Amino acid sequence: MANMFALILFIATLVTGVIWCIDRFKWAPARRAQQAAAQAQAGNTLDAKTLAKVSSQPGWIETTASVFPVLAVVFIVRSFIYEPFQIPSGSMMPTLLIGDFILVEKFAYGIKDPITQTTLIPTGQPKRGDIAVFKYPKDPSLDYIKRVIGLPGDKVTYDPYSKTLTVNPGCSQGKTCNTALPITYTDVEPSKFIQTFSGFNGNETGNGFFDVPQGETMRGGLRLGTRKETLGDVTHNILLVNEAQSQAGMYYQQPGQPQASWVVPQGQYFMMGDNRDNSADSRYWGFVPERNLVGKAVAIWMSFEKQEGQWPTGVRLNRIGGIH
């Protein structure tokens, strides 16, 4: 199954719901009937405590029935409205940092069956620039988060040397597409982040991203570059490793297309991370089918200062709010 937790939550909600219904419409009336009969036989002299002993509700039924409304609310909200996710890696920096906890709008791209991910009610389509959560096509048990770059029919070209994008809409099915989407970039400037590398200069044993003030250095690390990318009418910041070499040889090669160029098939999307030189995205493994879409990231509800695979060292309250 694409989502084991959703399946477990569904089964738990179903089981507790069945017990709640049986208790409400069968067992509870039977208990009340027994109490009424006992009260009549005693000439209406029994108090509430005594009546409860005549026909009491078993503890396991009481517990199960009380849990059902909570599970039902959690199941409905998580499956169809909002679902919380944690950002585990730096692929979407600087927009999303490791340790950010985000809310994903589940109904943004359709009301879906939470178990099979089948769309039940269409409600909308991804737009260029959206930050979307989806099931990783090569392993649907994993949730990925990236920015939507290419829509169905778009021709996406990435220059690994200038690290710039070109997007030509309407190129599917052999159509000629000469009109390019307006994409602009600001100059590359030093960012506030330094990245450390495994074995870099023999001093580091692990990778990490650290917020280090301008003018300061960090042993075994490189300061990342940053610039603004305007994709149509959506502007966001991206990070670059200025010293990174081209990895075009590792890109996904779409049949019939030149290297580092892709035409997005119908019903699929092209995704990229904002941390361009530290993101395993559609450039490397291809397209995301529409059925794999989980929802749109809309807000940060909590943020912990941490590194990948490590325990938090602080709280970043200033990051709580909408995602820009």
Residues with catalytic roles: 91, 146
CA separation for the pair 145, 87 (Å, rounded): 8
What distances in angstroms separate CA 306 from CA 87, 90, 100, 210, 316, one per listed residue? 11, 11, 9, 9, 10
Q: Find where tokens 């649907």 sit.
A: 140
Q: Which of 119, 165, 174 is nearest to 281 (CA)?
A: 165
Quick check: 65 and 20 in contact, CB under 8 A? yes
CA separation for the pair 306, 97 (Å, rounded): 9
Cα 225 to chain centroid distance, Å, stands at 26
End-to-end, the C-alpha distance of the chain in Å comes to: 33
Quick check: 134 and 288 in contact, CB under 8 A? yes
Q: Taking CA 41 as the corner, what is the angle to CA 37 and CA 42, rounded to the nearest 5 degrees? A: 120
Quick check: 133 and 114 in contact, CB under 8 A? no
Which phi and psi (to 5°) does residue 53 adopt? Answer: -75, -25
Give me the numbers of helices (H) and strands (E) for the chain, helices first please: 5, 19
- Burial annotation 86-111 (CB, 10 A radius, 16+ → b, else e): ebebbbbbbbbbbbbbbbbbbbbbbe
| Amino acid (1-letter code) at residue 227 | R
Kindly provide the residue ranges of all beta strands, DSSP E only, lying in the chain, ordered along the sequence. 82-86, 100-105, 111-112, 119-121, 131-135, 143-150, 155-159, 164-168, 183-185, 189-196, 208-211, 221-231, 234-240, 261-263, 268-272, 288-289, 293-305, 314-315, 321-322
